[in-house]
Chain A
Amino acid sequence: MTSSAPARWRFLGTATGIIAVAALAALPFLVDAYMLHWAITVLKFAVLTLAWDILARTGQVSFGHAAFFGLGAYVAVLASSTLGLGQILSMLVAGVVAAGLATCLSALFFRVRGIYFAILTLAFAEVLKVCATMLTGMTGGAMGLSARPLFGGDAVKSYFFILILALFTIATMWLLSRTRYHFGITAMRSSPEVAAAFGIPVVPIRTIAYSVSAGLTGVVGAFYAFYTTYINPESAFDVAISVAPVIMSIFGGLYSIAGGIIGAVTLTLLQEYLRTTFEYGSLIVYGLLLIVSILFMPKGVWGLVSGLASRQRSPAREVAS
């Protein structure tokens, strides 16, 4: 009994995972182009949310991931148009550049914490937006840049690209959760000082987390640029890009893969639906959800679900012992 309950849950988890991956692989052959676009959007936000969560797990909440999203978008478009790199290579370069920038920034940015870090990152994204608008020679200014469509406009290939990126992100996070760094990161979140007193290399972990988080966000930005074939400063450095992962994580449940996915899927679909329904103000629901989440559901949907699940499981554990 003692071992069977966790084993059963693990089996359920694995089974769900396999079925989900199979369904996702089959999806493009089952749905129309419109639905496929939605699926791509959902996956895009799932990666953004999970990437953001990697940094959040160390205890720093960024309100400015649009900086890396937009940077990735511009770098990829410029790399492919001016340097003539292939699109996939351009997207990788975008990720590397974003990660590199984050590495450089971390020594400066992590000098502040909490709300000040949030405001700092927000301001940084805005600075990049201004740069993108004003450096017209390179970026085309407010007019933006257009790019060749990704995979020659083959939405199914685009879908598989973003799906693989999502699975890669999930796999990375899952593998990380099995190493000692998972413990180090969780401990840092409680208190970086105390964590350091127990030998946890706080500074390198934080730097790497920020870089990985930024790199993945940069790749998504690059993907977005090629997928939509057009970027401008307003769309690439949109505050909404910074805020989406915060909202999705908090709604779904912070610091967990499942929470991030739940948040990204639910809110992206909701938002897409509302946007097609209302001309203005579709973000009202977003705002209200945030308020309600913080007031009544601070651990998010996943926190609620896993809380209920563990409450159901705990009597079994007592019987067993």
Chain B
Amino acid sequence: MSIEVNFMIGGEAGQGVQSVGFMLCKALARGGYHIFADQDYESRIRGGHNFFRVRASDSPVGAVIEPLNFLLALNRESIDLHRGELGPDGIVIYDRAKITGIAEGDDLFGVPLEELAEIAGNKVMANTVALGAVAGLIGYDREKINQVLTEQFKGPVGEANIAAAKAGYDFTEQNFKGKTGFRLKQASDARRLLLSGTDAIALGAIAAGCKFIAGYPMTPTTPILEYMASKAKDHNIVVVQPEDEIAAINMTIGAAYTGMRAMTATSGSGFCLMVEGLGLAGITETPAVVVLGQRPGPAIGLPTRTAQEELEFAIYSGSGEFPRAVLAPATIEESFWLTTKAFNLAEKYQTPVILIIDHTIATSYTTVERFDLSKVVIDRGSLYPDKSVVKPEEYKRHQLTDSGISPRAFPGLSRALAITDSDEHDEAGHLIEDAKTRNEQVEKRMRKITGMRNEIAPPRRCGPHTAETTLIGWGSNYGAIREAIDILSKEGTKVNALHLSELWPFPADAMTDALKTCQTTYVVENNAAGQLAHLIRAETGFSVSGRILKYDGRPFTPAIIADKVRRKEVVAW
């Protein structure tokens, strides 16, 4: 029988919700469990209400689901808001001394969190006591908890935390009289990686040979910049936190022009400032990898929550026309691989590539099999010197070719001069005004799109080949859509899905083919407009039957999607 456990840690910002959640994930992953965890937090450093959901299973999982089995409530609000999400036999772990006046029930298990923490050394470790208590409730290996605590807290602080966890564990063993039904033993000996989406992107960038990142801090992509900075010394990565996103994109372009694999990362408002730079990368034919982490807008919107509102912005933004690729990983694992692909496309086609993710992918954690780095391809594209240009004085940075791709020379690495211009220019890179040269350069740049289109993956089909309803999605909704298919098929409704991870140049032919066998079609998107539906119609002429949309800043769960399909609760197209 499969094992499936859902935890929630709830509390104020500053109570250690994230650290307990992460440590629980890590300890369970070490026990061979598959993990999916997401975070819901407010744009504040202290107070408010935050929660961290952890789903552990002995089979792969890609979304959070209802109901909860365990709620670690570090404050009263967590009980008020989430007690109703508990399933039968669900348990609330809370501090009975601190939180009083709540309705009695079999679901309550009071643990003197602060008191035990104080005995262990400091009441700030109440969250660690709670971690111990929940480990006790599932009969989990104490050693794995201790190991994680030792890694998280060094020296005497680590020892005090181990004592705090032990106190929580022991208290539970001695006092818990109910039944949880969960005894989590070692599920397997698998040694998987536990990663967030931003971790996966940073690792993908380093594996791809990216040694330059410029970024202005902005939720949810700041951890990419921070991770790269933490590895700057050991891996010779140039990390710059400039004055604004305008500088960030222009620095990325400057480093790439000079010959480095370079990137920047931001979210919607920061991307707005980078749009001018995208055109610069386009006309100077400079590779630039931009990570766009979406959160609900417009403007500042809901800065710490999730959305998919910038698909069309990513595809169409910029002055004038130029080729670009837009990649949207469906999972944390795919975030790693598409990051490596982004660098290859950017360098082969010498143009910007946008890796668009949503807040859910950026901040969720999941277990993935260790990446096989021998499968990472580093393709730097056409470089000078090559067969077509032998003498440096004959080198022309924007040489006309059938593919539209001209060999790149880097300044200072040979006697060939790398000359380029944001003005329209001739093959040599000097500014021009005449119509003939203008046309030649426009057509040369646009020819690159043919090559790029051939590298774009077709939509991925999940579920049965034919079905009465097809769900069409992009980004992190993949996990929830897949499980919604399972829920509905168990009820006898045949549903499948088409998922697009590589959105531009749009795989129009492959999508047209895939849509031929579909009956009722619904897009599933975290926006209010149905941008993917619009894109499909623009690129294929196909109109979907309806849109399942969610724009409250919270991610879809499988049950929400299944329910909408069941009740045909869709927005008409």
- Asked if A and B are interacting partners, one says no
